[in-house]
Structure 1
Amino acid sequence: MKAHLKGRTDLAESTVEVGERRYRITHPSVADALIDEREFDEDDRLPYWAEIWPSAIALARRLSGDDLAGRRTIELGCGVGLATVAAMEGGASVLATDYYEAALDFTRHNARTNVGSSPATSLLDWRAPDVGDHGPFDLVFAADVLYEEGSARALAGLVPGLLKPGGEALFADPGRRWEPLFRELMGEAGFSFETEEATVDVEGQERDVTVLLHRVRGG
Structure 2
Amino acid sequence: MTAVVTEPVDLRDGRAPLLITRPASSDALIDEAAFAAGDEYLPYWAELWPSAVVLARRVAAADLRGLRVLEVGCGLGLPALAAARAGATVVATDWSADAVAAAAGNAAAAGLTGSVTCVVADWRDPGPLVAAGPFDVVLAADVLYEARAVAPLLTLLATLNAPQVILADPSRATAEPFLAGATAVGWSITSTQAEDRPMVRVHELRRDGTAVPP
Same fold (TM over 0.5): yes
Shift in CA distance, 27/65, structure 1 to aligned 2, threshold 3 Å: same
Shift of 1:35: 0.8
Report if aligned partners of 1:124, 1:131 keep a CA contact under 8 Å in 2: yes
Does the Cα contact within 8 Å between 2:123 and 2:129 map onto a contact in 1?
A: no
Matched, 1:23 2:21: no
- Choose from 145, 161, 170 the match for 2:166: 170
- 1:135 paired with 2:133, answer yes
d(CA) in 2 for partners of 1:103, 1:133:
21
* Mapped partners of 1:182, 1:38: distance in 2: 32
How many angstroms apart in 2 are the aligned matches of 1:61 and 1:25?
A: 14
Q: Does 1:52 align with 2:56?
A: no
TM-score by length of 2: 0.89
Q: Distance in 2 between matches of 1:54 and 1:105?
A: 21
Q: After the TM superposition, which segments of 4 or more aligned residues of structure 1 sit over 3 Å from their partners?
A: none
Q: Please tell me the residue identity of whatever aligns with 1:176.
A: R
Q: In structure 1, what is the Cα distance between the partners aligned to 2:130 and 2:176? A: 30
Equivalent position SS for 1:157: helix
Q: Distance in 2 between matches of 1:151 and 1:56?
A: 18
Q: Offset of 1:132 from its aligned partner?
A: 5.4
Please state if 1:100 is matched with 2:96.
yes
**Contact kept in structure 1, 2:7 and 2:20, CA below 8 Å:** yes
**Distance in 2 (alpha carbons) for counterparts of 1:120 and 1:134:** 11
1:210 aligns with 2:207: no
Count residues in correspondence: 203
Task: Provide the aligned C-alpha RMSD in A.
Answer: 1.5
Q: 1:144 aligns with which of 142, 153, 159?
A: 142
Identity among equivalent pairs (%): 39
State the alpha-carbon separation in 2 of the partners of residues 107 and 143 from structure 1: 14
Can you give the 5+ residue segments of structure 2 that lack an aligned partner in the other structure? 209-214
Report the CA distance shift for 1:47/1:161 in structure 2 as closer, same or farther (over 3 A): same
Q: Which residue identity lines up with residue 44 of structure 2 in the other structure?
A: Y
- Contact preservation (8 Å) 1:126, 1:154: yes
**117, 122, 130: which is aligned to 1:120?**
117
The one-character-per-residue Cα deviations of 1:138-193 (angstroms, maximum 9, x if unpaired) are 000010111101112210111122234xx200000011120101111111211121
Alpha-carbon deviation of 1:209? 4.7
Q: Deviations over 1:91-112 (max 9, x none)?
A: 1010100010111111111111
Q: What is the CA distance between 1:43 and its match in structure 2? A: 2.1
Amino acid at match of 1:163: N
Partner SS, residue 127 of structure 1 = coil
- Give 1:186's aligned residue: 182
The correspondence of residues 71-90 of structure 1 with structure 2, limited to 5 A, is 71-90=67-86
TM-score of the pair, normalised by structure 1? 0.88
Contact 1:122 1:131 in 2 (8 A): no
Is the 8 Å Cα contact of residues 89 and 115 (structure 1) preserved in structure 2? Answer: no
Counterpart Cα distance in 1 of 2:130 and 2:153:
17
Q: Which stretch shifts more, 19-28 or 155-164?
A: 155-164
* Structure with greater strand share of residues: 1
CA separation of 1:152/1:132 partners in 2, compared to 1, >3 Å: closer, same or farther?
closer
> 1:63-96 CA distances to partner (integer Å, 9 max, x unpaired)?
0110000101100111111111100101101010
